[in-house]
C-alpha cells in the first residue's frame, strides 16, 4: 500500500509539472507566434468536436503542440532535430535538481544558460545545430 501511494504521488507530481510546462509553452507560443498559436487552438477545437474523448486527455496536459519528449539527465552532442516540423517552434524546458548547464549554438557562437525552472528557449530545431552540456557536478 505504501509503495502504491508513493507511485501515485510521483504520478501526480509529474501531472502537475506537465500541466505547468504546457501552460508555459502555450503562453510563450502565444507571444512569439500568435498566428501559429491560434491555428493550434482551432485545430484542438476541431479535434474535440470530432473526438470528444480528447477533452479528457487535454485536461491532463494542455500543451497545444503535437508532441512532447521528456529526457532525463541528458547531454547531447551537436545535432539538428531532423524530425521537428519544419515550420514550427520547439520549446526546451529544464526541470530537475541539477545546478545547470548550457545550450550552445555553434553557428552563432552563442552559449545560453540552461538551468532548471528558468530556461524557455524556443527555436526551430530543424535548422539549428546545437548541443546541451552540463556544468560540472550538475546532475
**20-31, pLDDT tens digit by residue?**
888 888 998 899
Cell output for 130: 546545437
Give the integer Cα–Cα distance in Å for 16 and 25.
14
CB atoms under 10 Å from CB of 25, counted, come to 22
- Contacts by 40-43 with C-beta closer than 8 Å and gap 24+? 40/64, 40/65
Q: Which of 73, 74, 87, 85 is nearest to 33 (CA)?
A: 87
pTM score, whole prediction: 0.73
Radius of gyration of the chain (CA): 17
Supply the DSSP string of 2-37, one letter for each residue: HHHHHHHHHHHHHHHHHHHHHHHHHHHHHHH-HHHH
Mean pLDDT, the chain, as a whole number?
Answer: 81
Instruction: Please tell me which residue, 96 or 115, carries the higher pLDDT value.
Output: 115
pLDDT confidence of residue 119: 59
Q: In this predicted model, what pLDDT tens digit does every residue of 53-84 receive, in sequence order?
A: 999 988 888 889 877 777 666 678 888 878 77
Going 112 to 116 to 120 to 122, the CA torsion angle's sign is: positive
Residue 119 has φ and ψ, to the nearest 5°, of: -105, 115
Amino acid at each position: 500500500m505504501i509503495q502504491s501511494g508513493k507511485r501515485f504521488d510521483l504520478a501526480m507530481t509529474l501531472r502537475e509539472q506537465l500541466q505547468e510546462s504546457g501552460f508555459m509553452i502555450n503562453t510563450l507560443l502565444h507571444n512569439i507566434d500568435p498566428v501559429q498559436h491560434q491555428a493550434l487552438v482551432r485545430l484542438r477545437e476541431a479535434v474535440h468536436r470530432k473526438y470528444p474523448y480528447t477533452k479528457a486527455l487535454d485536461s491532463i496536459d494542455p500543451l497545444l503542440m503535437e508532441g512532447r519528449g521528456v529526457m532525463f539527465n541528458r547531454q547531447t552532442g551537436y545535432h539538428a532535430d531532423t524530425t521537428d516540423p519544419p515550420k514550427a517552434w520547439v520549446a526546451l524546458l529544464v526541470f530537475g535538481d541539477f545546478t545547470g548547464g548550457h545550450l550552445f549554438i555553434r553557428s552563432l557562437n552563442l552559449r545560453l544558460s540552461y538551468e532548471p525552472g528558468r530556461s524557455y528557449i524556443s527555436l526551430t530545431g530543424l535548422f539549428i545545430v546545437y548541443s546541451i552540456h552540463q556544468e560540472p557536478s550538475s546532475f
